[in-house]
Structure 1
Amino acid sequence: MQDGLCTAIQVPLTVSRLTNGLWEPLKELAKIGNINCKSDLQVGVRMLETGVWGAYYNVKTNLGDVTNEDFKKKVSEEIEGAVKIAQENCAAILKILEERKA
């Protein structure tokens, strides 16, 4: 059971890692992309942030049943850091887009 939980946790954890790897290209797109697509990018970055939140809640739910305290601590720190990265980058991209002239 414990091995299964630890394996299951890896899926949303990987989602958060992959998602957080998209922020830099999206920042560049926000700076130079077609301004007529502004709202599409605004919605997209909110959805990515929400995806990381979904991963967070899934990980936290499954961690409740894990007995390996070292694993719990490591994963909890990683997923909390992932949410922080997502929030900061989402806000930064939205700011770039708001400051662009049409």
Structure 2
Amino acid sequence: MSLKGVELQIAIPKTFDAGKMADQHHQKTINQQLDANEALNREIERKQLAVNKSEGMDAISEEDENDASNNGQTSSEQNKKKKQQQEQDAQHPFKGNLFDFSG
């Protein structure tokens, strides 16, 4: 395929334009990936700094209140009550209970 002089006058400028457009597209893709990575890093950092559970704080304050009200009791009595409380908290809702499914 041979190109004539007139055809080269049209083809060469379009080649430069196509190269610029390809370069811009490539840069745009790279910038989008960098922005997505930066957003992901911000999201990860936000999740790391967020408080996930606050239930533990309630349990601690209840134990402190119980300790303050039971100052007159001996430590062995307090230990027994704590063990009983932990056993009650640890009971599973249906394991160990018999259910009649023959119905």
Q: TM-score range by the shorter chain?
A: 0.3 to 0.5
Which structure dedicates a bigger proportion of its chain to helix?
1
TM-score under structure 1 length normalisation: 0.34
Bigger radius of gyration among the two? 2
More RCO (CA 8 Å, sep 6+): 1
